Amino acid sequence: MEKINILWVDDEIDLLKSHILFLEDRNYAVVKCPSGQDAIEALQKQAFDIVFLDENMPGLSGLETLMELKQINASLPIVMITKNEEESLMEEAIGSKIADYLIKPVNPNQILLSLKKNLDHSRLVSERTTATYQQEFRKIAMDLSMVNSFEGWVDLYKKLIFWELELEHIEDSGMFEILESQKSEANHQFGKFIEKTYPQWFDGSDAPVMSHTLFRKKVAPVLKNGPTLMVVIDNLRYDQWMVLEEVLQPYYKKSEEAAYYSI
């Protein structure tokens, strides 16, 4: 792999020789700095992929050095390493947009994990997502051949949308093409299901919530509980709602989610 350049800043940098040798054996290049000022000068001369920064140093402190380094390169991931477990320090460091926070003494594997989490995250997530979908593909294919209820089709639809959003961000476009093929097959099979069962939904009570029964079955019972704010967003697809839900999640707690069928 292409060498990753690490800037390691610690006033006791000579005591970290075993950690640095561990990383160099794995093809990482490490530049050592004994002070915050040396780190600032090093970053002005050379580009780095990540910084490991000791919090407690003479002269410029870790937090002061952090602010100076961020002014030079705001997007540079910086991992704070400290003996101090005070909550206020953690909050201040996290508020300064550090990439990770490690408590001394750290072992080489902790350092390696932090590197992979911050630098290989996208690749690792992509590989894991692809492998998981490959396993799930067979289950979805089996479900497609067996699903025979409106509840089953709702569950299958949600599963396909979940994987559509997951695979949008991976590097392997072939997986997305396979999913599109599954969605096409699902649309075909769902069409057959609707042709077969739709007339029955108007002859008996065993029918899903539909457009014309949605208000009576889902909205009216809520209105009986007292004043209610109702927000209606027309033509909102389920995948759009899943993206929107992430935005709303910090402010609202979802108590129920239900699907309905068009008339």
pLDDT tens for 88-130 read 666 766 676 788 888 888 899 999 999 988 887 666 667 778 8
pLDDT digits (tens, 9 = 90+) for 145-174: 899 999 999 999 999 999 998 888 776 778
Work out the pLDDT band at 37, boundaries 50, 70, 90. very high
- Would you state the pLDDT for residue 147? 93
Residue 32, pLDDT above cutoff 90: yes
59: left (phi over 0), alpha (psi -120 to 50) or beta: left
Nearest to 49 by CA among 64, 30, 71, 22: 30
Cα–Cα distance between 263 and 261 in angstroms, integer? 6
- Would you state the pLDDT for residue 187? 94
Residue 103 is which amino acid?
Answer: I
- What H or E segment, with its residue span, contains residue 39? helix 36-45
